[in-house]
Amino acid sequence: MSNETVGDGQAAGTRDTRRFVWLFDPRLVMTALGSIAVVVLAGLVQVSFGSYSMSVGQAWSAVVNPDVLLNQQAWNSFLLGGELPEMGRKSLIVWSIRLPRVFVAIIVGMNLAISGAIFQAITRNELASPFILGVSSGAGLMILVVLVAIPSFVLAVPFLALTGTQGGLLGGGATLVWLFGVAGAWWYGVERRQLRAIGLVGAVLLGGAFVAVPGISLPVGVGELSFAVSTLLPVIAALGGIAAFLVVYAIAWKNGTSPVRLVLAGVIVGTVFKSLQTALFFFADDLGVVQEALAWTTGSLTGTDWEQVRMALPWSVIAVVLAIAGARQCNVMLLGEQTAKSLGMSIEKVRFALSGVAVLAAAASIAVAGIVGFVGLIVPHMVRNLVGSDYKKVIVGCLFVGPALMVAADVGARLGMGVITGSDLQIPVGVVTGLVGGPYFLYLMRKKQEMGEI
Amino acid sequence: MTHKILDRLLSSGTDAAGTEESTGEAVSAEEDEQMPTSELSGDGLVLKYPPMDEPVIDGETLVAEPGAVTALVGPNGSGKSTLLKGLAKQLAPEDGSVLLDGRDVHTMDTKELARKLGLLSQESTSPNSITVENLVYHGRYPHRGFFEHVTEADHAAVNRAITLAGCEDIRDREVGSLSGGQKQLAWIAMVLAQDTDVLLLDEPTTFLDLHHQLEVMEIVETLRDESDITVVVVLHDIEQAARLADKMVALKDGSIQARGTPEEVVTERLLAEVFEIDARVEVTQRGPRIEPLQPRHDEGEPEQPPERIARADGGDS
């Protein structure tokens, strides 16, 4: 790049004017290709091994099986949830059990990576992760509330819940929290006009989460909507995360906000919610429930299916598109608040919008995989190291490196215990991302002087 | 040209807010379409930083002469930078208004304002690995829509800014690898690329070595002589300010002590009052020359220096 610029001088512009020319930066291309190679290799391992063992060749031929690959009905079933067509046993195992898990890992890796990258830009904080603004603690709390405190769901109006015969105490408590939540958030909104909408949405979400109260028999005339916990948990976890983020933003707001205020508010809300979450563990009387809660709060891909792909994909597509579109805003934001302002950026609007995108991505990944730590923190740093600090490249790089780390870590999560102890036990992928990512992060830190600088 | 003279007459003749405001409006109404220069004025500005009760600037009025360089000088903590921030809409005034060509900047869209008014802050941070060229391209931010791509106009503006700021040789270097002076030139190129009618510079020469100080001054001189940009610059070095500026404004403790041409403002009396130093001022062809002698200490002493000033005054005239 430097050569051509020097040669051309300052005459008619030295830049290639084509819009996406930056995509062909060799460093970015190499990063993408390397990551794809990792994803393919790890994916191949994932589809080959397991309780039904097949050779790599068999697995590969099942993956590229044209009967499935080119079958419209099959894709219809995968992506839209239709009827699954007839296929061979190997193809069935690969395509309906093992591959979707790889796809979910790819989606989750992308989401967490771009979410972390965005949060690092808007907080200008090297330690920012997708969960810095309370998303994980809100989601974690809701997961615990649902799994431990609420055995079955009835969607009800909270005021009516008070008259219920069962679960009176919890119902009453939830109603009080909801009322205070509405009042508090509304008060915030009235005080700070710009935040009125945020306050209200926060109140509704916070309230909505508590609207569901345990098995109450309702007065006659009110329809009951019952859901199985498992179908609603992902959505509730994601909504809990989003609600916590809104609460954090409302707390941090005082005539506008600042990175430091946001991070502090995130830490405060996170601490409170974490405490509540830990407290709830004591009320769990079933080891199975505790394990399920742990799997959710450390992040696990066990048992993920095409359904998870269907659930996360639309939101992820939206988040990815918006993240790429917002990359230039991130770049300007990195020049500091004052410069961004003097360049005409409406900094509060942009910051909130970008946070929204990042939270959306994080929530989508929480809904399908729980709270997978570390990926969102470390991947943006790895990418910056590989492609430089231009956020357009960082975001695109994250779309490749995130999945690579996630898919590779999931190999360890799914098969690691089998290799070590010979058991079929799967461990949460969040454990492996920490175990793999931590040392790698350390290695980068030792090797690179300016590691961590944004 | 007639307007320039008119403005000069008016702004030097009066401090009254009303007159200045109406002048600004008259000029903008008349010349909105082909107006070559922009007038920026702060009117009865009261500025403070939110947690504090005491305003830093308490009801000051300042008019930046269109197409000219206005320098704000004053000792540390005199409120120069605060005043500049107020003019740049970085700080919302408690009272008073900032008018750009007669329009209140707080009613303007942020991007619209940024196309007309640029600010170079005292301290700027950027990622280390960004190239100078990419940094300068960020100056085009207010000219681009959300999904808009860089246009020919952007390339042209960036090239012009880089040439004007003398950054051609460091164009492809990473900002993190530059010296403080080179960094400052890169940042100046960025605000120049913004292509505004009004440019506010907050201590652009502070912390730079002499060479780069002169480079920066040369850029501002070029702007003064060859363009219609209205420049307001905060400077620490009063001699530099005198050399650079068409108009000078001296502040102390948040209030304007003197305004006018460098010759009018840079006097031994003013240096004693505002900067609390004894100094000898010599009028040369390149503006006033200042030879600082000693700091003035407290109220007990002031008998002595006025004599000296009187003597020096006598000698000069």
Residue-wise pLDDT tens digits, B38-61 = 889 888 888 888 778 888 888 889
Cβ-Cβ contacts under 8 Å, B138 against chain A = 331-332, 335, 343
Cβ-Cβ contacts under 8 Å, A6 against chain B = 172
CB neighbours (10 Å) of residue B216?
Answer: 25
Name the pTM for this structure. 0.79
The answer to whether residue A280 is domain-embedded is yes
For B67: left if phi > 0, alpha if psi spans -120 to 50, otherwise beta; the answer is left
Q: What share of chain A is helix, strand, coil (3-state, %, to 5)?
A: 70, 0, 25
The answer to whether residue A401 is domain-embedded is yes
Closest Cβ–Cβ partner in B111, B134, B172 for A344: B111
The answer to whether residue B10 is domain-embedded is no
Neighbouring residues of A244: CB distance < 8 A, sequence distance ≥ 6: A133, A134, A135, A137, A138, A139, A141, A269, A273
Q: How many domains does one find in chain B?
A: 1
**Which whole number is the average pLDDT over A217-245?**
65
CA distance A14 to chain B (A): 8
Local structure of residue B131 (DSSP, 8 states): B
ipTM, 2 decimals?
0.78
CA distance linking residue B240 with residue B236, whole number of Å: 8
The answer to whether residue A29 is domain-embedded is no
pLDDT of residue A18: 65
CA distance linking residue A420 with residue A152, whole number of Å: 38
CA distance A388 to chain B (A): 6
Report the residue of chain B nearest A334, measured CA to CA.
B126
CA B285 vs CA A273, A326, B282: distances in Å: 71, 53, 10
CA distance A19 to chain B (A): 7
Q: Worst-scoring range by mean pLDDT, B28-32, B134-138, B225-229, B265-269?
A: B28-32
Q: At what angle do helices B180-193 and B152-164 cross, to 10 degrees?
A: 140
**How many residues can be counted in chain B?**
317
Burial class (CB in 10 A: 0-12, 13-18, 19+), B14: middle
- Does B90 contact A342 at a Cβ distance shorter than 8 Å? yes
CB pairs under 8 A between A and B: 95
Interface residue of B90, B108, B110 to substitute, partner A, most A CBs within 10 Å: B110
Predicted confidence band of residue A88 (pLDDT cuts 50, 70, 90) = confident
**B122 touching chain A per CB within 8 A:** no
* Interface residues of chain A, partner chain B, Cβ below 8 Å: 1-2, 5-6, 9-15, 17, 19, 255, 325, 328, 331-332, 334-336, 338-339, 341-346, 384, 388-390, 450, 453-454
Local structure of residue B151 (DSSP, 8 states): -
Which tokens sit at A231?
A: 């179908």
* Domain that residue B180 falls in: 37-295
Closest Cβ–Cβ partner in A10, A17, A346 for B162: A10
CB neighbours (10 Å) of residue B123?
Answer: 11
Closest Cβ–Cβ partner in B50, B89, B110 for A255: B50
- Reduced to 3 states, what is the DSSP secondary structure of residue B247? strand
Residue pair A436/A412 in contact by the 8 Å Cβ criterion: yes
Please report, for the domain that includes residue B87, its CATH number.
3.40.50.300
**B118 touching chain A per CB within 8 A:** yes
- Reduced to 3 states, what is the DSSP secondary structure of residue B257? strand
The answer to whether residue B314 is domain-embedded is no
Neighbouring residues of A104: CB distance < 8 A, sequence distance ≥ 6: A301, A304, A308, A309, A312, A368, A369
Answer yes or no: is pLDDT of B162 > 80.
yes
Answer yes or no: is pLDDT of A152 > 70.
no
Cβ-Cβ contacts under 8 Å, A392 against chain B = none
Predicted confidence band of residue B28 (pLDDT cuts 50, 70, 90) = very low
Q: Which of A38-42, A179-183, B65-69 has the highest mean pLDDT?
A: A38-42
What distance separates the 2 farthest-apart alpha carbons in chain B? 67
Please report, for the domain that includes residue A133, its CATH number.
1.10.3470.10
H/E stretch holding B71: strand B69-73
Neighbouring residues of B116: CB distance < 8 A, sequence distance ≥ 6: B38, B100, B101, B196, B197, B198
**B162 touching chain A per CB within 8 A:** yes
A247/B310: higher pLDDT:
A247
**B51 touching chain A per CB within 8 A:** no
**B139 touching chain A per CB within 8 A:** yes
Interface residue of A335, A342, A451 to substitute, partner B, most B CBs within 10 Å: A342
CA distance A400 to chain B (A): 21
The answer to whether residue B26 is domain-embedded is no
Residue pair B178/B162 in contact by the 8 Å Cβ criterion: no
**B188 touching chain A per CB within 8 A:** no
Which residues, listed in sequence order, are joined to residue B232 by a DSSP beta bridge? Answer: B70, B200
pLDDT of residue A120: 92
Report the residue of chain B nearest A453, measured CA to CA.
B127
Closest Cβ–Cβ partner in A10, A13, A343 for B114: A343
Residues of B numbered 209-248 whose beta carbons fall under 8 angstroms of chain A's beta carbons: which are they? none
* Domain that residue A139 falls in: 44-162+218-450
Closest Cβ–Cβ partner in B112, B138, B194 for A332: B138
CA distance B195 to chain A (A): 11
DSSP A278-345: HHHHTT---HHHHHHHHHHHH---TT--HHHHHHHHHHHHHHHHHHHHTHHHHHHHTT-HHHHHHTT-
Predicted confidence band of residue A445 (pLDDT cuts 50, 70, 90) = confident
**What distance lies between CA A399 and its chain's CA centroid?**
13
Nearest to B132 by CA among B159, B97, B104, B96: B159
Nearest to B200 by CA among B70, B7, B99, B32: B70
CA distance linking residue A62 with residue B97, whole number of Å: 72
What are the backbone dihedrals phi and psi of residue B76, each rounded to the nearest 5 degrees, phi first?
A: -55, 140
Closest Cβ–Cβ partner in A14, A334, A342 for B127: A334
| Average pLDDT score over chain A | 80
CA distance linking residue A76 with residue A241, whole number of Å: 31
**Which whole number is the average pLDDT over A202-212?**
52
DSSP B92-115: --SEEEEEETTEEGGGS-HHHHHH
Interface residue of B115, B172, B198 to substitute, partner A, most A CBs within 10 Å: B172
Nearest to B140 by CA among B131, B151, B132: B151
Runs of H (alpha helix) within chain B: 2-13, 17-31, 80-87, 110-116, 132-138, 152-164, 180-193, 210-226, 238-244, 262-265, 268-270, 304-316
pLDDT of residue A121: 93
Give the CA count within 13 Å in the CB-facing half-sphere of A237: 27
Cβ-Cβ contacts under 8 Å, A393 against chain B = none
Predicted confidence band of residue A180 (pLDDT cuts 50, 70, 90) = low
**B134 touching chain A per CB within 8 A:** yes
pLDDT of residue B213: 92
Residue pair B125/B116 in contact by the 8 Å Cβ criterion: no
The answer to whether residue B180 is domain-embedded is yes
- Does B155 contact A6 at a Cβ distance shorter than 8 Å? no
Nearest to B197 by CA among B38, B7, B56: B38
The answer to whether residue B21 is domain-embedded is no
Task: Match 């003064």 to its residue by tokens.
Answer: B224
**B94 touching chain A per CB within 8 A:** no
Burial class (CB in 10 A: 0-12, 13-18, 19+), B112: middle
The answer to whether residue A32 is domain-embedded is no
Cβ-Cβ contacts under 8 Å, B88 against chain A = 342
pLDDT of residue B27: 42
- Does B126 contact A334 at a Cβ distance shorter than 8 Å? yes
Cβ-Cβ contacts under 8 Å, B192 against chain A = none
Give the CA count within 13 Å in the CB-facing half-sphere of B84: 31
Q: How many domains does one find in chain A?
A: 1
CA distance linking residue A116 with residue A124, whole number of Å: 11
| Average pLDDT score over chain B | 81
Residue pair A117/A394 in contact by the 8 Å Cβ criterion: yes
Residues of B numbered 272-291 whose beta carbons fall under 8 angstroms of chain A's beta carbons: which are they? none
C-alpha distance across the termini of chain A, in Å: 23
Residue pair A31/A386 in contact by the 8 Å Cβ criterion: yes
